[in-house]
């Protein structure tokens, strides 16, 4: 069964396989017995192997056991879950926050909870797959606007009078590393929600999966732009990337979060996250809040690599963050480049359709990379370029 379909994927260079690590996540990993410099992880701050996260996780394991055993509504959660939500509220300066089991579960849970058949969603064309799935599940009419194109969005908004509107965007686009025009989106919603006595007519849902721990001293995209949380903004973020743990949150106005916690199916009908995972997310929030040099190191590394890539001619990556796409002319070229890097001891996989339209290598820099790791990548990319030039590609 499915053999013809699988053969079709294989012919197009789109068949994927799982690759397993034999070591902790980090700037250097083992695949099998071989060592690779890793540019594929979203562990932006290197926290997933931080000793504090491991230590509090093992204490939580001893105190609370391994599994949560039930959903939050049935006491599957612990005091640690409450504590993490309190920390998110303080971090995000919102009324309330609620934990989800993953970023995917948050988007497919929250979006159908805040948007229904009579509403209309406006979604950036490069939003993450979990947002697209959340929009489908909501049964709301979904209108896709051109990537970061505020004029297009405004034109589309005008055509949808009378319905409640929800604008949804990644804050940092996960495959391109560019940042959404949050200031303009904020202003657009603010001018449409001026009355404090009536319900907001436009909600703004920000998927801050790649902004949390990276932008705004770690507090995310709103803080990065110096914007205040508003009753019509819902900020979603993940613990699975810069926070080095797992899970996600939605933070916002009291009523909205209460509504979500009563209606979001991925929250209601799923077992709570294990306490050890929550304990490490708590440790991550504390580390990020205290150690300001950590995020600075991430940005220093990112800027150094961008500079070196620029010198080599990779100027138009479009990236504004530690996610740096190196575009390829075809799937075959992306695969060839990734394989070449792999042979040079560098892990930076090819990203192909359907994840992206344009194939590429997605390089992710972390605070844990050392100068010699970045230099190795630059040297290997230099070799790849000369090889291409020599072959006349
Ligand atoms: C923008 C965005 N949103 C949501 C998710 C899903 O998060 P998680 O991996 O925690 O399920 C991802 C993960 O890749 C993402 O990039």
Query: Does 46 fall in a domain?
Result: no
Distance 170 CA to ligand 1 centre (A): 10
Q: Does residue 109 have a pLDDT over 80?
A: yes
Nearest alpha carbon, ligand 1 atom 9: 103
- The parent domain of residue 272 ranges over 51-290
Helix H or strand E segment including 241: none
Quick count: other Cβ atoms within 10 Å of Cβ 230?
17
The verdict on 324 and 239 lying in the same domain is no
Nearest alpha carbon, ligand 1 atom 8: 103
The verdict on 178 and 325 lying in the same domain is no
Q: Could you read off the pLDDT of 286-337 as tens digits, one per residue?
A: 999 999 899 999 999 999 999 999 998 887 778 999 999 999 999 999 999 9
Which of 234, 256, 290 represents a domain boundary (last residue)?
290
Q: What is the pTM of this model?
A: 0.96
Query: Does 368 fall in a domain?
Result: yes
Distance 252 CA to ligand 1 centre (A): 19
The verdict on 241 and 339 lying in the same domain is no
Once rounded to an integer, what is the mean pLDDT over residues 57-85?
Answer: 97
For residue 26, the domain's CATH number is 3.90.1150.10
Q: Is 238 in the pocket of ligand 1 (CB under 6 A)?
A: yes
Which of 262, 290, 318 represents a domain boundary (last residue)?
290
Distance 104 CA to ligand 1 centre (A): 6
Distance 11 CA to ligand 1 centre (A): 29
Note the pLDDT of residue 220. 97
Q: Strand, coil or helix: what is 121? A: strand
Pairing, β 233-238 against β 165-170: unpaired
Note the pLDDT of residue 188. 97
From residue 326, how far is each of 315, 322, 377, 381 by CA, in Å? 10, 13, 12, 10
**Which residues have C-beta within 8 Å of that of residue 22, sequence separation ≥ 6?**
29, 30, 31, 32, 33
Q: How many domains does the chain have?
A: 2
Q: Does residue 146 have a pLDDT over 80?
A: yes
Q: Strand, coil or helix: what is 96? A: strand
Mean pLDDT score across all residues of the chain: 95
The beta-strand segments (E) located in the chain are 28-31, 34-38, 96-100, 120-124, 141-145, 165-170, 202-207, 233-238, 248-252, 323-327, 346-347, 350-351, 360-364
The verdict on 33 and 129 lying in the same domain is no
Q: Could you read off the pLDDT of 214-225 as tens digits, one per residue?
A: 999 999 999 999
pLDDT > 70 in the chain, percent: 99
**CA-wise closest residue to 271 among 70, 66, 67, 65:** 70
* Atom of ligand 1 minimally distant from the CA of 105: 11
Once rounded to an integer, what is the mean pLDDT over residues 351-366?
Answer: 94
Once rounded to an integer, what is the mean pLDDT over residues 108-129?
Answer: 97
Please compute, for residue 66, the number of CA atoms within 13 A of its CA located in the half-sphere on the CB side: 0
Q: Is 130 in the pocket of ligand 1 (CB under 6 A)?
A: yes
How is 161-217 classified by DSSP, letter by letter?
TTS-EEEEEESB-TTT--B--HHHHHHHHHHH---SSSPPSEEEEEE-TTTTTTSGG
Q: Is 305 in the pocket of ligand 1 (CB under 6 A)?
A: no
Distance 159 CA to ligand 1 centre (A): 31
Write the burial class of residue 158 (CB in 10 Å: 0-12 exposed, 13-18 middle, 19+ buried).
exposed
Distance 165 CA to ligand 1 centre (A): 23
Would you place residue 390 in the very low, low, confident or very high pLDDT band (cuts 50, 70, 90)? Answer: confident
Once rounded to an integer, what is the mean pLDDT over residues 348-361?
Answer: 92
For residue 144, the domain's CATH number is 3.40.640.10
Q: Could you read off the pLDDT of 177-207 as tens digits, one per residue?
A: 999 999 999 999 999 998 777 889 999 999 9
Note the pLDDT of residue 205. 98
**CA-wise closest residue to 265 among 85, 133, 355:** 133
Rounded-to-integer distance, Cα 90 and Cα 289, Å: 11
Rounded-to-integer distance, Cα 162 and Cα 125, Å: 24
Q: Is 174 in the pocket of ligand 1 (CB under 6 A)?
A: yes
Cα torsion 239, 244, 245, 250 to 10°: value is: 0
Q: Could you read off the pLDDT of 214-257 as tens digits, one per residue?
A: 999 999 999 999 999 999 999 999 999 999 999 999 999 999 99
Nearest alpha carbon, ligand 1 atom 5: 103
Rounded-to-integer distance, Cα 93 and Cα 119, Å: 28
């Amino acid at each position: 069964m499915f053999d013809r379909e699988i053969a079709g994927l294989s012919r197009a260079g789109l068949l994927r396989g799982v690759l397993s690590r034999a070591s902790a996540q980090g700037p250097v990993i083992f695949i099998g017995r071989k060592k690779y410099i890793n540019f594929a992880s979203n562990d932006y701050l290197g926290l997933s192997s931080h000793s504090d996260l491991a230590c509090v996780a093992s204490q939580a394991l001893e105190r609370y056991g391994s599994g949560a055993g039930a959903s939050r509504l049935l006491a599957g959660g612990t005091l640690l879950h409450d504590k993490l939500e309190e920390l998110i509220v303080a971090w995000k300066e919102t009324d309330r926050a609620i934990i989800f089991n993953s970023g995917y579960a948050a988007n497919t849970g929250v979006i159908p909870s805040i948007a229904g058949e009579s509403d209309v969603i406006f979604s950036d064309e490069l939003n993450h797959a979990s947002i697209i799935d959340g929009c489908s599940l909501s049964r709301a009419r979904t209108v896709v606007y051109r990537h970061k194109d505020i004029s297009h969005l405004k034109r589309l908004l005008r055509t949808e009078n009378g319905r409640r509107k929800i604008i949804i965007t990644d804050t940092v686009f996960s495959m391109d590393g560019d940042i959404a025009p949050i200031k303009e989106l904020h202003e657009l919603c603010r001018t449409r929600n001026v009355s404090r006595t009536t319900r907001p007519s436009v909600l703004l849902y920000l998927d801050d999966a790649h902004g949390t721990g990276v932008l705004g001293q770690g507090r995310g995209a709103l803080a990065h732009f110096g914007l205040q949380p508003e009753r019509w903004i819902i900020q979603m973020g993940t613990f699975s990337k810069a926070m080095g743990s797992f899970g996600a949150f939605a933070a916002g106005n009291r009523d909205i979060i209460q509504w979500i916690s009563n209606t979001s199916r991925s929250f209601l009908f799923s077992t709570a996250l294990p306490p050890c995972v929550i304990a490490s997310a708590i440790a991550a929030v504390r580390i990020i809040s205290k150690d300001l040099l950590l995020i600075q190191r991430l940005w220093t590394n990112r800027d150094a690599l961008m500079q070196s890539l620029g010198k080599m001619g990779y100027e138009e990556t479009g990236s504004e963050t530690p996610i740096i796409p190196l575009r390829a002319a075809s799937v075959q070229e992306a695969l060839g480049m990734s394989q070449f890097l792999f042979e040079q001891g560098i892990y930076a996989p090819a990203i192909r359709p359907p994840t992206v339209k344009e194939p590429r290598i997605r390089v992710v820099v972390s605070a844990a990379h050392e100068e010699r790791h970045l230099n190795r990548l630059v040297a290997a990319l230099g070799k790849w370029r000369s090889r291409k030039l020599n072959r006349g590609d």
